[in-house]
Amino acid sequence: MHSEIQRRICQSPTSAYVAHKSTPVISFGNFEKAKIGTLGINPSSNEFYSKDKLLAPGKKRLVDLESLEIASHKQITEGKAQKILEGCYNYFNTRPLKWFADFERLLNAKSLSYKDGSASHIDLVQWCTIPVWRDIPSFERRRLLEFDRDFFHWQIENNDMQVIILGGRQVLNEVQAIPETKLDLISKHHYFSRNRKVSYEIYKMDDFKGRKLIGWSVNLQTMRASVEEKTGVTSNLQRFLEAEV
């Protein structure tokens, strides 16, 4: 395990909004070996919780403090950190959230997949929060982003990913706020949601720390539209992905 990864795993939470007994999610799948990545803001609390309770031992998706039989992040040893990392890298061999299914369909268009390790997911912030990201105070969001900024930049620079996908307005906005980034608007599109026309944009940046960034403002996981409309949006994004990867 690289020393930077171990250091990040062993850090204690700096916010009261970090989900109790959760652990840092370094990546979903092995980010060090993947050819392509998807990027989000932070992990869902559903990775560790069902409603207000930790997932039972037979239903856990990742390694939490309960799994490690410890009460505090300060008790994470090198060996326990290794177990946390292995849980992250083996995530798609256990019980991945359905949230990843939309990205998986897009990736399959280029014969890439989370399941075979050719793709991995990383986040700007490694902690999951309760409540969800959008519902915690803005100053806490800024503090969490600042806390994990250096690790995010290290992570981007230390992998084999050629392309990183930004899916959704929220992550686009956070990446655009990074001084080194300049995402170019490529095209504008729309779909219909209950007879309401909804616009979305596609962006890219050819070189961010040696990686190409591509993204779109629509969030496939939460968009409210008919199956036909969603299929049309997905097909459009697939064509863009095929041309850029």
CA 224 to chain centre: 21
Question: How, if at all, do strands 119-123 and 196-208 pair?
Answer: unpaired
Q: Average pLDDT, stretch 133-154?
A: 95
Which percentage of the chain shows pLDDT scores above 70?
100
pLDDT of residue 35: 96
The 3-state DSSP class for residue 190 equals strand
Write the pLDDT tens digit of every residue in 59-101: 999 999 999 999 999 999 999 999 999 999 999 999 999 999 9
CB 51 within 8 A of CB 178: no
Which percentage of the chain shows pLDDT scores above 90?
95
**Beta carbons within 8 Å of 185's beta carbon, 6+ residues apart:** 201, 202, 203
Q: Please state the pTM of the whole predicted model.
A: 0.94
Whole-number Cα distances in Å, 67 to 48, 57, 61, 147? 11, 7, 11, 25
